Structure 1
Amino acid sequence: MISRRVLVAGLAIAGLAVLTACSAKPRVPKTFLSDRQLNLEEFFEGKTVAYGQFQDVLGNVPRRFTVDIDGTWDGETLTLVEDFAYDDGATEQRIWTLTKTGEDTWTGTAPGVLGTASGVERGDTFNWTYKIDLPVKEGTMRVNFDDWMWLLEDDRLLNRAYVSRYDVRLGEVILFFEKK
């Protein structure tokens, strides 16, 4: 006979699987919503600020933050110094080193990123994927990011990142970038 605890756990896992399956992620578009062309090296060169939050799969928002970004482009490498300030008073700095590997392709590294991140620009859209040991209150948590960015205007960028662990979606990071 199946215990009540095993039954409840099984139903919870099945429910989470249904929630995850019902929320489709974007795809690199064949047609575009605008005639804008996103060029990361142009958008992120100089000062940018981002406002964001993490939302879990149940709709809870456990954390909000701002990010001050200082970007430099030397013709091959885009370096992004990101200074995070969380609503709970915590701070963090992440420094990305991105390399343009083709007309529309990028690779990148940052402390905590496992291996190399990779991304593709298409029109006004950029998709970026990587695995990172993300700092959390208890230490770090290894997660996967499937990051999507859309150029809304020349100085505004919307970012929606799908966060997962062991192929189970944990939630989303939603960011709004604005050039200074």
Structure 2
Amino acid sequence: MKPRRLVIAGLAVLGLTVLAACSAKPRTPKTFLSDRQLNLEEFFEGQTVAYGQFQDVLGNVPRRFTVDINGTWDGETLTLIEDFVYDDGATEQRVWTLTKTGEDTWTGTAPGVLGTASGIERGDTFNWTYKIDLPVKDGTMRVDFDDWMWLLSDDRLLNRAYVSRYGIRLGEVILFFEKK
């Protein structure tokens, strides 16, 4: 009986190891895939549109959306007015106020965000983390976002956001931004 339990325990550990490997998040790069330099204030100033979807950990895609973004930069503060339209017809507006705090660092606030969001630019990559009370059908749900953005070209940005609650991953938001 003991050898059977040992095999089952070994398979469980192997399964958890494979699952953990599949759920790894990006890291701040030490080397870069391109020589592009992401500057949020340049990319988001003016009109941008984003296309995205939420995918849960089981692979289901319960929601898709588009976002029209109007960005203004005053030399210190980047304001992003985001107008969401979901595939079910629901709408939402979120207004971000981002402050450049260093050569490559940012902080930000928006309604629903708890405390202050923080981010860092490195080459063509930006990592942005925050806790937010997201609107859901029955009220709000408090979740953590770990956003990773990659500048693909002067007018295109890819965003993959890992969404978790109590340290447990709920799913991911994939967004594709395009300057108008």
Q: Return structure 1 stretches of 4+ with deviation > 6 angstroms.
A: 15-18
State the partner residue of 1:7.
none
Sort the Cα spacing of 1:59 and 1:34 in 2 relative to 1 into closer, same or farther, 3 A: same
State the partner residue of 1:95.
95
Q: How does 1:1-180 map to 2 (within 5 A)?
A: 19=19, 22-180=22-180
User: Deviation at 1:22?
Assistant: 3.4
How far apart are the structure 2 equivalents of 1:102 and 1:174? 27
After superposition, the CA RMSD in angstroms is 1.4
Gaps of 5+ in 1: 1-14
Sort the Cα spacing of 1:63 and 1:41 in 2 relative to 1 into closer, same or farther, 3 A: same
Sort the Cα spacing of 1:61 and 1:42 in 2 relative to 1 into closer, same or farther, 3 A: same
The amino acid that maps onto 1:56 is: D
How far apart are the structure 2 equivalents of 1:16 and 1:139? 33
Larger radius of gyration: 2
Q: Structure 1 length as normaliser, TM-score?
A: 0.89
User: Deviation at 1:19?
Assistant: 3.9
Instruction: State the percentage of identical aligned residues.
Output: 92
Q: Write the deviation string for residues 64-123 of structure 1: whole angstroms up to 9, x where unpaired.
A: 000000000000000000000000010000000000000000000000000000000000
How many residue pairs end up in the alignment? 166
The amino acid that maps onto 1:44 is: F
